[in-house]
Each structure stands twice: as C-alpha cells, then as structure tokens.
C-alpha cells in the first residue's frame, strides 16, 4: 500500500526501517509486576503494535541500579530476570512490524529513600527535589563508577532481549542533574564548565557503546531548555544537543523542554486540559534544524493533523502521540483505512498520568480497554447469540458507551434521554471553559452511534410503560444521579448545589463559601467558576488536602486560578450547619480533631458538593418485572460466565444499572461499566 500521507512514510534510522512516522514515547503505565513487564504490560504494547504504529517505547524509565528505587512502577532493568519478559514483549510487537525500544535511567533524586531497600537517594549535588521530597547525598566517585557499570549492564540486557534500541532519560533524573546549574554545584571535575558537567554522560555513553557495540541503536531523551531562571538555557541545551549529535555515540535525540521537579512545572512539559496543545513542537524543530540529526518529540500532540504537520514541515523525524494512543491504540490503522474520523480522541483529562503519580496505574478516562487488554477488547466482536432488543435509559457517558458496545455486538439498540442533549455530568463539567475538550467523550460516542444506526430519543423522561412498550430483551438503566447535600444538622434548604453553579442556573454571590465533601473535579470546577466570576471565595474541605480524588497534574490549573483570584483554602474542617441571619448566611464549621471546636463564616452563599444519590426510580419499578431482578453475579463478571442470574421465571427481560445510577463515582467508572456489561449481552 502506497500513500502520500507524510505520517505513513517510512523512516530509516541507521539499519532500522520504521514503517511510518508515528511512535509512542517512553512512559511508565505502572503495569509491572515485581518490576517485570509481564502479561498486562506486554498486551498493552502489543495492542498499539496491532494498531499500526512504527515504534513503541517501553518504560518511563527502567531503572539501572538498585539505589534508584521505583517511583511509580518502574521496570527493574538491573535484574537479569527482566530479559525473557522483555523478549516476549518485543516478539509480540515485532509480529506486527512494530519496533520496540526501552528507556533506561538512574532516577537520581526523583524518587524516595524510604522505598525498596532504603538506600540513600543521590544526585550531582544535595539539592532536594520538591516532588519526591528526598534530600539527596552528593554522588561520590565510587557511586559514579558503579552506576556507569550498571548502565552498561542494563543496556546489554536490553540487547539480549532482542529490543531494537534504548534511550537514556536525561530530564529530571541523575544524568541531567549533572548538566543543570540548578542541581550541579560541584567544584570538581564533574562541575563548573560544560565539559565537566557532561563528563558523567560521556562516561555512560562510552561504557554502553563498549558493551553493546556500534550497531545497536542508542538515543537520548533530553532537556534542551529548562526554561527556568538559572537552569539549562536554550543556548546551552542546543549546544549539548549538538555535541551529542556529533559525538558518534547516539543515534537520535528525543527533545523535551522544561523541568519536572514540581507539579506545576510538570504540566508545562506534559500539558493537561485547557493548556496549549503541542507547546514545544516548534522548539523541537529548532533543535532539529540546529543539529541536523534524527529528532523525536512528544508533548500533547494529540491529533493526527498536528502530527502530520510536524512531519510535513520537517520539524520532526518521528512524532510521539503517547497519550493519544492510550485513548486509541489504533490511530495509524484508522488513518491507513481512511477512518481518521473514527479515532477516539484524547481529551486531555490526564486521568492516565494522575493515577500513576498517585500510586495507581494508567487508565484512560474514556477508553476502559487500555490496560485491561486481557479481559476488555478494543475491537468489539459480534455476538454469537441471537440479536436482542436493548433499551438504554440515559445518554450520559456510561449509557452511550453501553449503547455503543451493544450495537457493535449486533443488537438493536434504542437510547431514551430525558434532556434535549446527550452528555449528562460530562456536559456539566464542560461548562468550565478550561475543560471544554471533555465533550469529545460524548461527541465521539454520538458519532459512533450514528454510524451504528442507534436511535436516540431525546426529551423522553422514560417511565416503566415507555420501556415496556419497546419489548426489550435487555434494559440498561444509566440514569445517573442527582446532587445531594452533605450531612448537616440544619440548613439543608439554604445551601446551593455545585451543579447549579456549573449549569449557570444560580449565579455566584459576592461572598461565597464552597464546602467540598467529595474531593474530585465536581467541587473544584464550581470553585474555579466562582473564583473567575470575581466572587470572594473560601474553599473548605474536611480532608488533609483538598480534592484528594484528583491527581497532582489536574490540581495545577485549579491552584493557579485560586492563587490568582485570592481564594482562601481551609482544610481539616467540616461544614456542620447553615442558618440565616438577616441578608447573610452563617456557616457553622466543626473539627474532627478538636471535639467541641466551632467556627463561623458570614457569607452571601454556601455552595456544597457531596456527590450524587442514584436516580433509581425507574430501575426499582422495573426490577420485579425482570428475569434477574436487577442482580449481577460479580464473581462471574470478573472471572467469566453468565453474569445475570435467573431469579424470576416470570420476568421478561434482563435488567441492570451502571454508572452513577448505582453509586456516585466518576467518568471512567461509568464507561467501564458500560463496556464490561455491554460485552456480556
């Protein structure tokens, strides 16, 4: 198949032919088990290989030394046991002509001493990294000797596993800790001049080349401008890139701009929703022009048009679409088949990375199959059983996903939606202008339902008879929930829901107290809208820190708005009651820590966020008429088998509910319900 599409042109990297220009850059999804890339890790990368990409990079990063303990599920490339696991992963990707590389590193100060073997963290100088809070010791000559040897041994393991190459990580880790004036205060042969600051890197490169030879591909993901006062400047970073390119020791540069030592700086490197797309693409192109060397880059290049532009204009040789492939691992295949419009969009939610940095594993906010390839398919197979009539009540994220999956299975699907638009709480969230991209979650599913011929009946408040009139075989209740107040001793009728603020049905008053007893985007979105409206706002949370259900990267834009607008944040405090005094409300506050402590705030408006209560009247009315009485066999849902037990011989249909119609959760939970139940119909 020939094509004029710049993205589909092959690229020759040394002896390696990459079949197109699309790659997934190194990242750590935290799918490892005991530091090994076992089945879950392998299936995740193999799915992207099936989807047509030319190169997948594993690990972000694999650690070369024991005293570089895993910070977020990192692979242990210092351990010989990793070789057969990497070999299985490489073989699985090579079956689809997808090349495989791995990123290796010593994390330096970007980890914690109180992990794994409790060995001291080290860096070029004893400069603390705010994100991981460790105070590193100054690396000694004997540390340098052993770590250089560890790099070489790790590279040999990667070569032995049949990988196509490696790249060093040199932003925020040990290697660039020597490069940057921010972290290198040494006065010996490893500090001062640029030659000295590059000495450790040269030692690693020499040792690795001696270990793996000249032909094995070796690259570096490097910061070429820390974009911060007293850090690596653009001029120095480009000079480092030139030196590496002309050294004959590396085969490609993978360009990064910025620092990652705080949540705020990390989001400039890896932007989240509401921030610029592809913010460093032009800069990476400048480095390529200056070095005339193979250049890779990734930073929120989430759409095919931008990726195509990056290649067509010569800014990059290989374009990284990493989070985009977490959302849809089949991007290249869809481009090749003329189905570009069917690509599931990355909406910038960054649920994936927030979960990793909070100790979880990478999950896409609206692709529940990613990371679950062993049990949840990316491509839905037709049912081998009879075609069924499926009625879905509710066109929020979960209902639309259930309808999509059931239709892909070949069933006849009708969706009943009470409002005039689909979207539910997702549409509510997009009322915060900064998060408007989330509507892609809904728009993509509506386009898929249109392609599959699914009927959506809007402005239909479905009751029992409406559903029964469709003679369903399966009824899926995805009616979501309604906002509920936190438990108050008085004043339930005086508070305003965060939903009312988000929907615009109630305007923020001049002086507002917002009590968030949920801890997610819902309360934070309302708080941001209130702050941006010009109101004086105090955000009160009973938690040790606010919004604990939301990760550090999404924390950044909210906190930016709060600082800019002068929002007061109060933690470890509960809202006990609200009463009216004249034209104001008095919010009585209490403490879990000091019995009897009370505080008061006089404000014009009290806004509360306490999740939702299921909107389950329809479910309860249909339950006695169903075959399974709404019951689900959870053991079989997880392990396999018929998940709907027969409990009512007189029942006419299978009934179940999903998402917030069950309990207050989040977008991913609703979509996961939609697909894992839908594939069992």
- State pLDDT tens for residues 637-649: 999 999 999 999 9
Total Cβ atoms within 10 A of residue 286: 19
User: Percent helix, strand, coil in the chain (nearest 5)?
Assistant: 35, 20, 45
Which comes out higher in pLDDT, residue 304 or 3?
Answer: 304
* Whole-number pLDDT of residue 455: 98
Average pLDDT estimate for 337-365: 93
The predicted model gives 599-627 an average pLDDT of 98
Mean pLDDT of 268-283: 92
| pLDDT value for 1 | 53
- Please tell me the predicted confidence (pLDDT) of residue 644: 97
Question: What number is the average pLDDT over the span 613-629?
Answer: 98
Mean pLDDT of 417-439: 97
pLDDT band at 2 (very low <50, low <70, confident <90, very high): low
- 358: confidence class by pLDDT, cuts 50, 70, 90: confident
Question: Which pLDDT score, from 0 to 100, does residue 91 have?
Answer: 98
CA distances to 70, 104, 322 from 35, rounded to whole Å, are 8, 13, 22
User: Are residues 587 and 568 in contact, defined by beta-carbon separation less than 8 angstroms?
Assistant: no
Report pLDDT digits (tens) over 557-578: 999 999 999 999 999 999 999 9
Strands of the 412-416 sheet, one edge to the other: 455-457, 412-416, 389-393, 474-477, 654-657
What's the predicted TM-score (pTM) here? 0.95
Distance, in Å, from the CA atom of 526 to the CA atom of 429, rounded to the nearest integer, reads 9
Q: Give the rounded percent of residues in the chain with a pLDDT score beyond 90.
A: 94
287-296 core/surface letters (b: 16 or more CB in 10 A; e: else): bbeebebbbb
- Rounded Cα gap, residues 142 and 123, in angstroms: 13
- Per-residue pLDDT, 360: 86
Of 168, 236, 246, 239, the closest CA to residue 207 belongs to 168
As a whole number, the mean pLDDT across the chain is 96
User: What pLDDT does residue 658 have?
Assistant: 98
The 10s digit of each residue's pLDDT in 230-249 is: 999 999 999 999 999 999 99
Query: Which tens digit of pLDDT belongs to each residue from 388-397?
Result: 999 999 999 9
pLDDT grade for 25, boundaries at 50, 70 and 90: very high
Its sign, for the CA torsion 173, 178, 184, 186, is positive
How far is 610 from 487, CA to CA, in rounded Å? 9
Q: How many residues does the chain have?
A: 681
Residue 3: its pLDDT value, please?
85
pLDDT at 632 over 90: yes
- Averaged over 608-631, what is the pLDDT? 98
């Amino acid at each position: 198949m020939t094509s004029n599409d710049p993205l589909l042109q092959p690229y020759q990297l040394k002896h390696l032919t990459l079949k197109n220009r699309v790659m997934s850059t190194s990242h750590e999804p935290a799918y490892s088990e005991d530091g090994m890339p076992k089945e879950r890790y392998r299936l995740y990368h193999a799915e992207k290989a099936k989807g047509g990409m030319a190169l997948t990079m594993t690990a972000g990063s694999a650690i070369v030394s024991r005293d570089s303990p895993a910070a977020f599920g990192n692979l242990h490339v210092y351990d010989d046991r990793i070789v057969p696991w990497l070999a299985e992963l490489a073989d699985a990707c090579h079956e689809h002509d997808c090349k495989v590389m791995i990123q290796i590193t010593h994390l330096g100060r970007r980890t914690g001493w109180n992990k794994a073997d409790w060995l001291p963290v080290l860096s070029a100088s004893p400069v603390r990294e705010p994100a991981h809070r460790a105070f590193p010791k100054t690396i000694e000559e004997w540390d340098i000797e052993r770590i250089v040897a560890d790099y070489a041994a790790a590279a040999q393991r990667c070569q032995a596993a049949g990988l196509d190459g490696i790249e060093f990580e040199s932003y925020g880790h040990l290697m660039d800790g020597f490069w940057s004036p921010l972290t290198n205060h040494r006065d010996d042969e490893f500090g001062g001049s640029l030659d000295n600051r590059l000495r450790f890197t040269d030692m690693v490169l020499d040792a690795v080349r001696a270990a793996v030879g000249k032909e094995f591909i070796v690259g570096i993901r490097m910061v070429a401008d820390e974009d911060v006062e007293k850090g690596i400047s653009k001029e120095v970073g480009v000079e480092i890139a030139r030196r590496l390119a002309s050294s004959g020791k590396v085969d490609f540069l993978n360009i990064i701009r910025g620092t990652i030592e705080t949540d705020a700086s990390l989001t400039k490197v890896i932007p989240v929703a509401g921030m610029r797309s592809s913010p460093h693409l032009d800069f990476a192109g400048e480095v390529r022009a200056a070095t005339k060397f193979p250049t890779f880059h990734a930073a929120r290049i989430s759409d095919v048009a931008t990726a195509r532009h990056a290649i067509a204009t010569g800014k990059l040789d290989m374009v990284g679409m990493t989070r985009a492939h977490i959302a849809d691992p089949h991007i290249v295949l869809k481009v090749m088949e003329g189905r570009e419009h069917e690509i599931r969009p990355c909406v910038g939610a960054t649920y994936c990375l927030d979960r990793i940095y909070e100790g979880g594993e990478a999950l896409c906010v609206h692709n529940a199959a990613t990371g679950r390839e062993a049990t949840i398919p990316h491509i839905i197979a037709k049912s081998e059983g009879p075609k069924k009539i499926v009625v879905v009540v509710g066109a929020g994220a979960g209902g639309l996903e259930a309808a999509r999956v059931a239709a892909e299975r070949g069933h006849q699907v009708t969706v009943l939606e009470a409002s005039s638009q689909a979207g539910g709480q997702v549409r509510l969230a997009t009322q915060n202008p900064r998060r408007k991209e989330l509507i892609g979650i809904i728009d993509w599913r509506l386009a898929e339902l249109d392609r599959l011929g699914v009927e959506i009946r809007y402005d239909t408040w479905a009751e029992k008879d409406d559903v029964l009139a469709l003679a369903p075989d399966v009824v899926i209740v995805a009616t979501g929930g309604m906002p509920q107040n936190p438990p108050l001793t008085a004043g339930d009728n005086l508070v305003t829901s965060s939903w009312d603020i988000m929907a615009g049905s109630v305007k923020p008053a001049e002086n507002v107290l917002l009590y968030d007893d949920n801890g997610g985007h819902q309360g934070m979105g309302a708080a941001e809208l209130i702050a941006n409206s010009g109101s004086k706002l105090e955000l009160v949370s009973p938690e040790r820190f606010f919004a604990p259900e939301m990760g550090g990267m999404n924390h950044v834009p909210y906190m930016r708005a709060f600082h800019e607008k002068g929002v007061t944040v109060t933690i470890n405090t509960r809202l006990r009651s609200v009463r009216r005094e004249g034209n104001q409300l008095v919010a009585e506050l209490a403490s879990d820590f000091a019995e009897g402590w009370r505080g008061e705030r006089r404000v014009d408006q009290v806004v509360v966020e306490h999740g939702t209560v299921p909107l389950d009247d329809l479910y309860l009315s249909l339950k006695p008429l169903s075959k399974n009485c709404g019951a689900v066999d959870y053991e079989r849902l997880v392990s396999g088998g018929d998940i709907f037990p027969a409990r009512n011989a007189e029942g006419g249909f299978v009934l179940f509910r999903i998402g917030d119609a069950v309990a207050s959760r989040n977008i991913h939970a609703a979509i996961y319900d939609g697909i894992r139940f839908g594939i069992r119909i």
